[in-house]
Amino acid sequence: MLLCISILAADQPPLYFRCIPCDASRENDLRLFVYSSLDVFDEKATSSRPDQELFLGSLFLNNKFKSYGYLTNTQIKFLAVIDATNPTLKEQDLRALFKKVHQGYSAAICNPFYELGTPIQSRALNALVDNRVD
Amino acid sequence: MDTHVPTAEDHCRISILVRTLGPRSPKTFNRLMERLSRIESIQVSDNPKRVILANFVTHANPELIKFGDLQAYRKVFGFIGVATGIGSASNSIHESLRSNSVFDGPSSRNNSTISIRSELSRKDSAPLDASLDTIHDQYKAVKSELETTAGLVDSRCVFLGYSDTSDCSIEPREVLSFGSLEESEELENGVRELLRSIYFILESRRIDTSFEKMDSPPCPMLPEEEKTRVGTENRASRNFKRKCIGRLRKQVADYALLTGLPSLALDSYTHAIEYLKSSSDLLWLAAAYEGFACAAMAIKYNETAERWRRQATMHRVSTMTPDQIRDYQEKAQHTLGVTIGHQRYRSDEDQRAVATAAAAAAQLIEQDIQQRKQYKKTWLLNVDRSPTGKSMTPEEILEKFVQALEHYERFSFASYVEYECMVRASSVYRHHRKYIETEMFLRERVGKYLDDSFTLFDNYTKAQICMVYAQIYREIGFRRKTSFFARLAVLFRLHVADSEARGEADYKLVWHHRIRKHSKEAKIAATKRFCDFFFPSFLSGFGCYDLGGVMVDEATTAGMKLGAKVYPILYRTLPGYGIVDNCRNAAQHGPVSVQVKAMHEVYMSALRANFMDAAIRHLCYMLQVYFPEFDDAAAQKTLDDLKRLVDSQDRLHSLAQHISLDQSGIILPPLQMTRFPTLSDFSIVRLPPQLTPRVITAASGAQKIFIYSPFQNEDESNDIHWVTNCLCEVSVRVLNPLPMKLEVRNLALLTEGCAFEATPLKLSLDKYTPDSEPAEIKLLGYPRAPGKLTVTGYSCEVLGVRNVCSIREVSPLTSTNHCTGSNLTNGEDPNAEKPGSQFTVEVLEELPLLVLETSLPRAPTTEDNVEKVAEATVFSGQTFDHSVFVVNTHPTITIKTVKLEVRQPTVFGPQLIELTNMELTKANNQSSDVTPMAVLHDLAPGERREVQFHIFGIDPASIADDKALGAEQKVLIKPALSPSTESDFEVTESTQSASADSEVGLGTNRNSVVSFNDDASVHNDASGTDRHDLIPYTGRLLTADFAFHYIADIVGPEGVQFERTARLPLAICIVPAVTVSRWQVLPGDSPATRYVVIDVTNSTDLDAELTYSADRRMIGVQPKEVCRVPVLCPCCPDVSSRSFREATQYDSHVRQKQEIDLLRRSLDAHIAKHLQIRWAIPQLNYGGIVPIGSILAEVEFLKQLVVPTVSVYAKVNGNANPSEDDITVRIGELVEVEFFITSVLKGTKSLHGQVSLRCFHDLGNGSILDRPENMVLCGPVSTPVVISSIESKSTEMPLENGNISPHEAENTGTTVNFAFLFLYEGTHKVRPVVGRPTVICPGEPILGEDEVFVPTLSFNVVTKVG
């Protein structure tokens, strides 16, 4: 089950972070987990990727969370954290999920009132996180 | 904490212990160490070329030395004692004393360092002057200790500053004596000598393979092994022999590695493994596997070069001559490419040299390998494995490591060795840049060592492991991991230190989530702990009950030292959380909540370390960067912390200074706390008008190329100029974002360019509320020298710290708010768009200031107007003398010229202000635009001159509004009473408007005729009803202006001159003595006469006498009283009312005006005779004419004095009723009205018409409501009339526009009778209407509405009862 989605700009500032409703400490854990996944993300992103694959696969895991990464061609980073104890979510599902996130992101930045580099407010993305929680 | 990352290279390095003997001099010692580290590698053999590497260490861990037999590199083969004599150490004694405590601290904590150490420190802290004997004793003690425990081979004793060392009992061979460190050129050679002698011994051990042939070879044992195994083995067994030989081969292999023969070592390890495996000697087998892997790595990778490259920033390797470097450079270039392939950071020459030197060393090793190939023994296992091309694959190396790890795992006492082996293994991935694999490898294995149940390592060791991890992650660029492990290290470190102080509950908190066994889960436990580490349990973990300064004072020294160790580590983790020093966009690089917590920890550790300044800096940083993220409570708490911290300091903390923490090498950058208070919208304010200098360039008078250029006016540049020693201002908007009051002290501008003396301000800002608006304030200062002045920033004391901010930090804020910002910025700063120039202003040299003194009272009228307005009150028509003194207040500078310009309302006739002792002349005769000026020359410093003038009480009405005084003036002259709205007698409304005004020359016979300029009349035309509003109220405030333009006797660069202007505004209130307040025109005795009733007001405090009318009637007026003067005035026969209408029929506007002007002139001339009222105040002997200009200005008035074409007179019930009073009738009472219609119509045809009655209510506001149903007419509703024209009987009569004299018209008339009654009560008005007949005969003249004079009858209808 999906726990959170985070979007970061190329030069790191977080653009979007949304996690399932939970208490603050868990949210902090998630934030920290996303943050610590970035090391691997950066490494994977910088290592050569001959295939134009945007999906970076699994980044980081501990016994609670597992993170996946996705890098757009404009170097925007998408991270999704899922529950590591739940084996039902397959990589294929995550690919589909990231595709939706990508669409949501594209829609969000198409908003003429959105200024690039500022935090994103997107109902579509929020729904993506919220709907997955069930 | 030392963070030496275990590498495979360690296996190739010979450890040499360097130790101070006698008094310490850390400075000398460190320099010595630095020099030693440059001679790490020496070439010991040319053919084959072999290089040995030394590892100079300052302390050796005895726990690890114990493994010296297992892994030879752990032994300490060499020892260098450094004795610093008094001579060279005297200057550093104090330093050493001070640093003693610092250095003791860590070592006493670290109880695992060699035991001699504490002994030594005790010894040398007592006697400062260590005699040679003491040094000798110490030297011997260390030497013997090392010989027994660590396998010492050779040693040296370096004496610095000892004059005579010959009587020392140390062997002369081992003595290196120098006057000082600077004179110790031979030191390097001495140390190389030491290395060589060690090398020879190790080499001899390497080639000693006699054990192969021994029957019972010696069995090297570890002390731990001896404990467990001794006596249990059959020493005679073949297996035991194989074990011994295997172990000895392993040792030989170790020495081969140490002496620079890695490929040979590889062979020996292979042999050792063979034997050890068969004898199942697992520990040694593990060590052999590790050695094998390390040897393979030594061949495959050049770790030495890498290490040197990392250290390149610290020092150069100077072991090679430049020639050598050049020699090797070319070779290295390509060999590196093939064999190593990891050297991509050769960006500058320095690094290149290092890399080359390292490559040289590597190449030496390679050459050795190639040499080995030639003499390769056939029994080598992997014969075909060439060192360059077909070296072992990383997988093979890793496999060996993994095997080693598996075997090590069985021996708990060797777990540290195991851990080091694991780290070495991970470096294989690192060399191949498989960082993700590195991370995974490390992550999977680290948990085991850090688990809380793993008690073999104390927490200090665990902390070190964490530091090593942090270091590895830093190298591979996982900065977040680095931060994580650095913090974890800190936690372990603190855990040890404070285990007693920590409360039970806190302890539980940490251990509560403990998950055992699983290595991965141990990591989670660590994570938990890590989370716990967060505020606030972190704080309680410190045993910190309170965050304030008091607590800090009570903190134990141990705590401080701990903080001092922890702080730099924590501080360096900050970039890992995306916290950057540049605080402008710091919050953008990571999760804010984590950042805040990390910052808070750093702050706490700084506090504990007693780095007060750093703690303050961190708190300020948090406030500046994360304030928007704080809720009120957190902000309050942080502010309280800051306040307490600041209060505990006895001096003001300055945020603008770098804080350098010497011991940790951290330099905290300055911080600009622009948030408290938030300043925005800086703009340079122009000087007030009386101080603003005008720069007159020398060229401005010269002939221009263009006769006229539209840009000419722009020569008057809009630049702002400041003047030296003149108070100047910068306006800024300030806001307090804090939820409490904020005190800002010493808020002052910072400038550069020329001397500027800022005046500090103290502000007290109210707490922030959502609707708080930035307040505008002015920052003041005096420029003290001419030049270009740039406002760079501001400084202030806020929240107890001194804060210096650059305007550039603020200006982005300014530019974004620019649109909403003050219009002051937009209006006053034309350069606002250009960054940079925005805050630069030119300061002119000091200029004299002219001060005006006047006998008139002065008072400021408005707030912005600094110049006080002089006030005067004069009677209309009087003259009063006054004077103005001009004073040059400057003590030294002369004013060259003063030009006086008088601005006053333009009037016809005598001027309002007239200079009496000077003359106004036009400076330039060619141009009529130039205003006349009076000129004063050479006003010496301090000189006073008088300018005399008199004020004449002109009739205020006679002002022609000049544009300069414009709009304000128009408001001022709005009359208090507007006759057109106030009139309660009937005026036939004129629909034509063009006749309103015209230029009328001032009649000489009266001084009181108003002239309007065209502006006003056009305006009136447009706005219909209130077109006469501009008629001046009699008696009003006039403004005039003395403008003194003065030029200082200074010539600036390029002949520039400076002009300033001093103004003396005058407000002259002209109080008319006797004025017309109200007037009415009533029908006169006959259709040809009118009564003009004028209310004359005596505005004075004295009795006035009025003389009026042709028969000189007199009337007295009391002070402040109104007197009604009825003047019988015959209608003007010269002008017919029709002619006004005709005048407007012309197409040309000018023509219309001319016509009306003509009409007016003739009317004026006629009326002026009749309406002249003279006034006299006998007490003052003043006399004058009541100004009737206001009346005459009205064309409406004039038109009423024209004989109307048709006049209707009414008689009600047989009585002529000229009065204004209502006629009271009752409902149903019959009213009989007789209208007598006369005409002065001239023409041949008579006029046909019909008269009817119109009944209406006057609603009083100008509108009327027809009520025909309220009236019942008895008899005819309308009566036809014939208005016969008058034939001109006498040709001598002045005939104008077809009119005749009214006298002749009197007897020709028609009478019409009506009878009616009212049905309802109320005030009803009845007016005859002269209408057109239903059938119009052609050629009949048409009556204009304004040509008929009809009275309106007013009836007050009451009920019968009333």
* pLDDT, mean of each 10-residue run, chain B (1362 residues): 72 85 79 81 76 82 80 85 64 41 38 40 44 80 82 82 70 78 79 87 85 78 70 72 85 86 84 85 87 85 72 46 46 36 39 47 56 41 40 81 87 84 86 82 82 78 84 82 82 61 34 32 39 33 29 35 66 77 58 79 80 84 82 84 84 81 76 82 81 71 55 59 85 85 85 85 83 84 86 85 80 43 36 56 83 74 60 71 83 83 69 75 53 78 83 59 35 33 33 34 32 34 35 56 82 77 79 70 70 77 76 78 79 69 74 76 72 75 66 66 73 68 79 79 68 80 78 82 60 40 53 84 81 62 65 79 52
> Closest to B594 (Cβ–Cβ): which among A32, A40, A44?
A32
B-side interface with A, Cβ within 8 Å?
433, 435-436, 439, 473, 476-481, 484, 520-521, 523-524, 527, 531, 577-578, 585, 588-591, 593-594
Residue B100: half-sphere exposure toward Cβ, Cα within 13 Å: 19
Distance (Å, rounded) from C-alpha B475 to C-alpha B1085? 119
Query: What is the model's pLDDT at position B728?
Result: 86
Omega before B48 cis (within 30°)? yes
Class of domain A2-132: alpha beta
Q: Assess contact for B809 and B674: CB atoms under 8 A.
A: yes
- The contacts of residue B58 (CB under 8 Å, 6+ apart) are B17, B18, B19, B33
The answer to whether the complex's ipTM is over 0.90 is no
Query: What is the model's pLDDT at position B924?
Result: 52
| Beta-bridge mates of residue B256 | none
Q: Is B1065 helix (H, G, I), strand (E, B) or coil?
A: strand
Q: Apex CA B1319: angle with CA B1317 and CA B1324, to 5°? A: 75
> Closest to A39 (Cβ–Cβ): which among B433, B479, B591?
B479
Asked if A39's CB is within 8 angstroms of B473's CB, the reply is: yes
Q: Assess contact for B1230 and B1258: CB atoms under 8 A.
A: no
- Chain B environment of A62 (Cβ under 8 Å): 520, 523-524, 527
Identify which of B371, B383, B454, B460 has the alpha carbon closest to the alpha carbon of residue B415.
B454
- Evaluate if residue A8 carries a pLDDT over 50: yes
Bridge pairing between strands B653-654 and B1278-1283: unpaired
> Closest to A43 (Cβ–Cβ): which among B435, B484, B531?
B435
- Evaluate if residue A104 carries a pLDDT over 60: yes
Task: Nearest chain B residue to A45 by CA: give it.
Answer: B436
- Chain A environment of B523 (Cβ under 8 Å): 62
Distance (Å, rounded) from C-alpha A95 to C-alpha A98? 5
Asked if B594's CB is within 8 angstroms of A35's CB, the reply is: yes
Asked if A36's CB is within 8 angstroms of B591's CB, the reply is: no
- Chain B environment of A31 (Cβ under 8 Å): 591, 593-594
Tokens (6 digits) for B1048: 């200082």
Identify which of B1304, B1264, B1256 has the alpha carbon closest to the alpha carbon of residue B1284.
B1304
Nearest-CA distance from A31 to chain B in Å?
Answer: 7
Task: Nearest chain B residue to A34 by CA: give it.
Answer: B591
Q: B319 in the Ramachandran plot: left (φ > 0), alpha (ψ -120 to 50) or beta?
A: alpha
- Chain B environment of A44 (Cβ under 8 Å): 436
Asked if A64's CB is within 8 angstroms of B524's CB, the reply is: yes
Query: What is the model's pLDDT at position B668?
Result: 83
> Closest to A63 (Cβ–Cβ): which among B524, B578, B588?
B524
Asked if A42's CB is within 8 angstroms of B594's CB, the reply is: no
For B88, B849, B904, B1334, the CA distances from B24, given in Å and listed in that order, are 11, 71, 91, 134
- Chain A environment of B598 (Cβ under 8 Å): none
How many residues comprise chain A?
Answer: 134
Query: What is the model's pLDDT at position B712?
Result: 52
Residue B1107 belongs to what H/E stretch? strand B1104-1108
Query: What is the model's pLDDT at position B1355?
Result: 83
Q: Is A25 on the interface with B (CB under 8 A)?
A: yes
Query: What is the model's pLDDT at position B1343?
Result: 63
Query: What is the model's pLDDT at position B622?
Result: 84
Q: Is A58 on the interface with B (CB under 8 A)?
A: no
- Chain A environment of B435 (Cβ under 8 Å): 43
Query: What is the model's pLDDT at position B501?
Result: 47
Asked if A32's CB is within 8 angstroms of B479's CB, the reply is: no
For B979, B1006, B1198, B1332, the CA distances from B1168, given in Å and listed in that order, are 20, 8, 11, 37
Distance (Å, rounded) from C-alpha B300 to C-alpha B305? 12
Bridge pairing between strands B1173-1177 and B1113-1117: unpaired
Task: Nearest chain B residue to A118 by CA: give it.
Answer: B588
Q: How many CB pairs under 8 A join A and B?
A: 58
Distance (Å, rounded) from C-alpha B826 to C-alpha B807? 18
- Chain B environment of A47 (Cβ under 8 Å): 433
- Evaluate if residue A129 carries a pLDDT over 50: yes
Q: Which site among B432, B512, B518, B527 would you substitute to test the A interface, given the most A Cβ atoms closer than 10 Å to its Cβ?
A: B527
Nearest-CA distance from B338 to chain A in Å?
Answer: 21
Distance (Å, rounded) from C-alpha B1028 to C-alpha B1140? 17
For B875, B879, B1117, the CA distances from B1101, given in Å and listed in that order, are 12, 18, 11
Residue recorded with tokens 């009862």: B1361
Query: What is the model's pLDDT at position B214?
Result: 78
Domain range list for chain A: 2-132
